[in-house]
Amino acid sequence: MVSKDIPEIPILDFEQYRPDDPKHQEATSAFLKDLYDTMHEVGFFYIRGHGVPLPLIQAALKSSAEFFDLPLNEKLEIAMANSPHYRGFTKLNGETTDFKQDNRETLDLGREYPKVPVDAPAYTNLRGPNQWPKQLPSFKPVILQLLESMHNVGLRILRAMAQSLGIKEDEFMAMFGDDLGMRMKLTYYPGMENKKDVPLQHGIGVGAHKDYGFLALLLQDEVGGLQVQLLDGRWIDAKPIKGTFVVNIGEIFEKLTKKRFIATTHRVLNNNEQNRYSIPLFLAPHNQCKIPQLTQFSPDENHRLDYKSDVAEDQLLQGDVYGENEFKGYRRSHVEVTRKWYYFDQDQQQWRRRPTPLSI
Ligand SMILES: O=C(O)CCC(=O)C(=O)O
Ligand SMILES: [Fe+2]
């Protein structure tokens, strides 16, 4: 279906994937073949027929825009710096990707979890309570509903991916038990002509990167700006298509498949006139998970270690407990939050939470 010569991001229809319906075997097999080819050649696709209702999608994008429209001082009341769980608001230019400050604001959140004791292993703090804008009463229920709905779609996609790779589905899906890693990032990219939230002139909302972890499922509004880097190095637009999510995988999944499935490099450009809102959801294994080795993909089948990308291979994958890796990623992306809440214990050679946070 997909050929290296055709710069396109395929649209896959989830209505065709009914693995538990014997009458639907042919369509399901065709879907799985398209999925495999797409992940092998492009690493990005649109999914439609996913079942998440349009009114929920519209309500979530509206809630997100209402949040980012609040005055900065009100958004800062729920700044990520308040949270040892790396959950909360990050202001414009507050993060750096590909050596440039991002031209975006974000609100990081996940499923609600209780507070974590200070002496628990540091990485377990990635679960914890969210911070919610108290000015917007419908925000929390709408966003949590979207989170659960998108997570169901994500799990179905992961199952389909395991089937299309011919790997043991049960073993693979066991990594994503009840306590699976799940992060949502409400995101606002101000337009270049925005007078209130003035972007830096480089015009890059988020610089070239690969996602780490497993699966990213993205809801984008109708403005556009997401770009995907093909295997030959060319950048193409992932134009918004109503009623779809955009799907890609992260580096740990790519490694697991020995690059049969690729973690494609992508970036977002700020639109000239319009503000853009997007809501990615990232799914990852539960944080005590040890990533299994898939022995059927032997290294000598790994025929394209050298595909072109503007970003280097990540070094995040050394630790064997998944949560340690994820924690490393957050430490690196949010240096100030890390300094406030954590320190490296030289005696024990491990990261720990500070009994009292630094006041910064
Ligand atoms: O906003 C988007 O379209 C993509 C965001 C993204 O790639 C990310 O946050 O990792
Ligand atoms: Fe990304």
Closest atom of ligand 1 to 276 CA is 1
Burial class (CB in 10 A: 0-12, 13-18, 19+), 92: buried
The CATH number of the domain holding residue 20 is: 2.60.120.330
Q: Tell me what pLDDT residue 183 has.
A: 96
Q: Tell me what pLDDT residue 287 has.
A: 85
* Per-residue CA distances from 30 to 14, 52, 118, 213 (Å): 11, 23, 50, 27
With a 6 Å cutoff on the Cβ, whether 246 touches ligand 1 is: no
With a 6 Å cutoff on the Cβ, whether 278 touches ligand 1 is: yes
Residue 360 lies in a domain: no
Q: Tell me what pLDDT residue 296 has.
A: 76
Q: How far apart are CA 171 and CA 299, in angstroms?
A: 21
Question: Which strand (E) or helix (H) includes residue 227?
Answer: strand 226-229
Closest atom of ligand 1 to 226 CA is 3
> Within 10 A of 327 (CB to CB), how many other CB atoms are there?
23
Q: Output the residue whose Cα is nearest ligand 1's atom 10.
A: 211
DSSP 192: T
Q: Output the residue whose Cα is nearest ligand 1's atom 1.
A: 278
List per-residue pLDDT tens for the chain, 360 residues long.
445 545 489 999 999 999 999 999 999 999 999 999 999 999 999 999 999 999 999 999 999 999 999 999 999 999 999 999 999 999 999 888 888 899 999 999 999 999 999 999 999 999 999 999 999 999 999 999 999 999 999 999 999 999 999 999 998 999 998 789 999 999 999 999 999 999 999 999 999 999 988 999 999 999 999 999 998 899 999 999 999 999 999 988 998 888 899 999 999 999 999 999 999 999 999 988 887 777 777 654 555 555 556 566 555 555 568 898 889 889 988 999 999 999 999 999 999 999 999 997
Question: Which strand (E) or helix (H) includes residue 64?
Answer: helix 54-68
With a 6 Å cutoff on the Cβ, whether 104 touches ligand 1 is: no
Q: Concatenate the DSSP letters of all residues of 29-52 into one string.
A: HHHHHHHHHHHHHTSEEEEE----
Residue 5 lies in a domain: no
Residue 3 lies in a domain: no
Residue 129 lies in a domain: yes
Q: Tell me what pLDDT residue 1 has.
A: 47
Q: Of 126, 107, 95, whose CA–CA distance to 341 is shortest?
A: 126
Q: 280 CA distance to ligand 1 centroid (A)?
A: 6
Q: Of 214, 148, 216, 229, whose CA–CA distance to 187 is shortest?
A: 216
Q: 266 CA distance to ligand 2 centroid (A)?
A: 6
Q: 138 CA distance to ligand 1 centroid (A)?
A: 24
* Phi, psi angles (nearest 5°) of residue 271: -70, 150
| Structure-block tokens of residue 304 | 């394209």
Is 104:34 a contact under the CB 8 Å cutoff?
Answer: no
Q: What is the ipTM of this complex?
A: 0.99
pTM here is 0.94
Residue 261 lies in a domain: yes
Q: Of 216, 262, 233, 252, whose CA–CA distance to 325 is shortest?
A: 252
Q: Output the residue whose Cα is nearest ligand 1's atom 3.
A: 226
With a 6 Å cutoff on the Cβ, whether 218 touches ligand 1 is: yes
Residue 1 lies in a domain: no
Q: Tell me what pLDDT residue 218 has.
A: 98
Domain containing residue 220: 11-353
With a 6 Å cutoff on the Cβ, whether 280 touches ligand 1 is: yes
Residue 161 lies in a domain: yes
Q: 242 CA distance to ligand 2 centroid (A)?
A: 20
Q: 292 CA distance to ligand 1 centroid (A)?
A: 27
Amino acid at position 61, single letter: L
Q: 211 CA distance to ligand 2 centroid (A)?
A: 5
Number of domains in the chain: 1
Q: Tell me what pLDDT residue 252 has.
A: 87
Residue 299 lies in a domain: yes
Map residue 142 onto helix, strand or coil: helix
With a 6 Å cutoff on the Cβ, whether 185 touches ligand 1 is: yes
Q: Tell me what pLDDT residue 95 has.
A: 86
79: CB partners within 8 A, 6+ apart: 88, 89, 90, 91
